[in-house]
A and B are shown apart, each in its own frame.
Chain A
Amino acid sequence: AQTVTQSQPEMSVQEAETVTLSCTYDTSESDYYLFWYKQPPSRQMILVIRQEAYKQQNATENRFSVNFQKAAKSFSLKISDSQLGDAAMYFCAYPNTGTASKLTFGTGTRLQVTL
């Protein structure tokens, strides 16, 4: 069974600092995508960043970047210059590669941003 593990239930970062959220996954596939989604108190799941496994280059989106280690099956999210609006639950997700792209989510990491 495919699993996604987020070992940090909660993290805290000061405004303007950098924080890294961890995620590991288990798959036997060689070609796949990985996602980080953000869920603020408003509840809407918002796509933060996507990584394609066949690309060696780590994905970046403005202040968000990933450290993708395919052999280790690790997919961490780095948030630079943290802002108060970054406070949310962050979920790592992996889609199966069957006919239906079912996303398997981790248990989430709650990020607090302090002044």
Chain B
Amino acid sequence: ETGVTQSPTHLIKTRGQQVTLRCSSQSGHNTVSWYQQALGQGPQFIFQYYREEENGRGNFPPRFSGLQFPNYSSELNVNALELDDSALYLCASSRTQRDTQYFGPGTRLTVL
């Protein structure tokens, strides 16, 4: 059984640019959640997708957006990047919206 995968592993962007991060959910999972983890902190919930619809959102501005595809993989898009967006972005998948979440290895985003 393949676990949660994320791409790319690392990414460097400049302020004002746009970025897309990708996540493939674990087999049999229809829900994907995204988290932002700043250095030295616990992850913060960005949003969750369930069956291709956004199903809850944390305290993040609209320039953070996402998609979920029919195969339940997902994208996180961030527009107008700011320096504070530099963080580890974690994707987690679960069997349903309220089931245990299993995490991918993360994407390290650096904004210069």
- A and B interact: yes
Counted as pairs of residues, one from A and one from B, with CB atoms less than 8 Å apart, the total is 69
Contacts of B58 in A (CB 8 A): 102
Q: Tell me whether A102 and B56 are in contact (CB under 8 A).
A: yes
Picked from B44, B101, B106, the residue with its CB within 8 Å of the CB of A101 is B101
Main DSSP-derived SS at the B contact region: strand
B56–A98 contact, CB under 8 A?
yes
Out of A35, A44, A95, A107, name the residue touching B104 (CB < 8 Å): A44
CA distance A89 to B98 in the complex (A): 24
A69 to B45, CA, bound (A): 26
B44-69 vs A, CB cutoff 8 Å, 1 = contact: the mask equals 11011010000111100000000000
Residue with the highest number of chain B CB atoms closer than 10 Å, among A37, A42, A101, A107 = A101
Residue contact B48 to A102, C-beta cutoff 8 Å = yes
CB distance from A30 to the nearest CB of B (A): 15
- Let me know if A11 is at the binding interface, CB within 8 A: no
